[in-house]
Amino acid sequence: MQTKIPATLYRGGTSKGPLFLAHHLPRDVPTLSRVLLAAMGSPHPRQIDGVGGAESLTSKIVIVSRSDRPGVDVDYLFAQVNPNSPIVDYSSNCGNMLSAIGPFAVENGLVKAQAAGKTKVDIYNINTDSLISVVIDTPGGEITFDGDAAIDGVPGTAAPVRQNFAGTVGSKTKKLLPTGRLTEEILGVEVTCIDVAVPAVLIDARSVGKTGHETKAELDADKALIARLDAIRVEAGKRMGMGDCTDFVVPKPLLLSAPAKGGTITSRDFVPYNCHATHSVTGAMALATACAMDGTIAARISGVRTHGTIAIEHPSGVMDIEIDAEGTGDGFKLKEAGLLRTCRKLFEGNICIPASVWNGEDRAESAVALAKDIAL
């Protein structure tokens, strides 16, 4: 016997995974985690018994429901399922998969598309207690996935999804600079700890013996570097007030260096036990904000940029973040942090899991209700 769970598989930005409506999933969190692991086929390096893509970027899950919050359209809970891990990580957000939520919400009747051609969707991320606004194309009041927008790391073009993360300052820690410092030393390495869209630890690549322009394969092969970055991020998590982050993907370590192809800054984003093939959206938001703050490691490398485009060079190309900020120190204010993504619906139907994992009964009321029993 198997339990069928309605789902829609999306490519969101440079990531991929299924989107679920919360009321199609189990109410209690231990059962929910078992269901998500079974759906993706974890733990197994190829996720052969599920729909996971055999790496962290293609093994992501989004759970959505209509929001009761004033001025908010939908709530969503993000879950990271890694191939080799039996743990479901609910600690972070994913800006790439976020790009799929607007179309998913419209097609499932949670949001009404505007006939004027553009529809704004205000999305609350439960994991990080933050609000992100997206604008999607809805010609004639219908969702379209066709368009001329292109992003590095994805072949072809698609309809644009415009995201604004200005409402994500202090996503997990409630502070822009969780330790109260622009820079500090952790395990002999100078870092900047910042929290915008995701808690991040910014590191000058030279301080760990790298140029910052290595390929993903070169960095993934350096196990000593991976271990060192992990030790730094775990200690940073403690200093940022997040407790023991050993089993989580946050805080996110970023290796920074000067640009090589005319951009603003180069970044290697770790997720956390290998290098991101492109760059996480959330990490890019934290980095772009740091570029606008005099005294951070990012600003030291890039020069302070408070307005305009922060072009982040990554292993597969460039990610452009539009930044608008003002002030310094305690008076710093982030007014806009936006970027363009694309998404595409890949299939819709049912994901089948063994009935022994869950029989389909005792379902959740909403994504918010699910999150009440998760230590976020």
- Give the per-residue SS3 of the chain: CEEEEEEEEEEECCEEEEEEEHHHCECCHHHHHHHHHHHHCCCCCCCCCCCCCCCHHHCEEEEEEECCCCCCCEEEEEEEECCCCCCEECCCCCHHHHCCHHHHHHHCCCCCCCCEEEEEEEEEECCCCEEEEEEEEEECCCCCCCCCECCCCCCCCECEEEEECHHHECCCCCCCCCCCCCCEEECCEEEEEEEECEEEEEEEHHHHCCCCCCCHHHHHCCHHHHHHHHHHHHHHHHHCCCCCCCCCCCCEEEEEECCCCCCCEEEEEECCCCECCCCCHHHHHHHHHHHCCCCCHHHHHHCCCCEEEEEEEECCEEEEEEEEEECCHHHCEEEEEEEEEEEEEEEEEEEEEECCCCCCCCECCCHHHHHCCCCC
- Predicted pLDDT of residue 121: 98
| pLDDT exceeds 80 at position 376 | no
pLDDT in the model for residue 115 = 85
Q: What percent of the chain has pLDDT over 70?
A: 100
**Across residues 16-30, what is the average pLDDT?**
97
At 373, is the pLDDT very low, low, confident or very high (cuts 50, 70, 90)?
A: confident
223-256: pLDDT as tens digits: 999 999 999 999 999 999 999 999 899 999 999 9
Please give the average per-residue pLDDT across 85-92, as a whole number. 93
pLDDT band (50, 70, 90) for residue 328: confident
Quote the mean pLDDT of the chain.
96
What's the pLDDT tens digit per position in 296-309?
999 999 999 999 99
Mean pLDDT, range 203-219, rounded to an integer = 98
**pLDDT for residue 375 is more than 80:** no
Domains of the chain, CATH where assigned: 2-164+343-371 (3.10.310.10), 184-331 (3.10.310.10)
Mean pLDDT for the stretch of residues 319-342:
93
Q: pLDDT tens digits for 117-147? A: 999 999 999 999 999 999 999 999 999 999 9
169-193, pLDDT tens digit by residue?
999 999 999 999 999 999 999 999 9
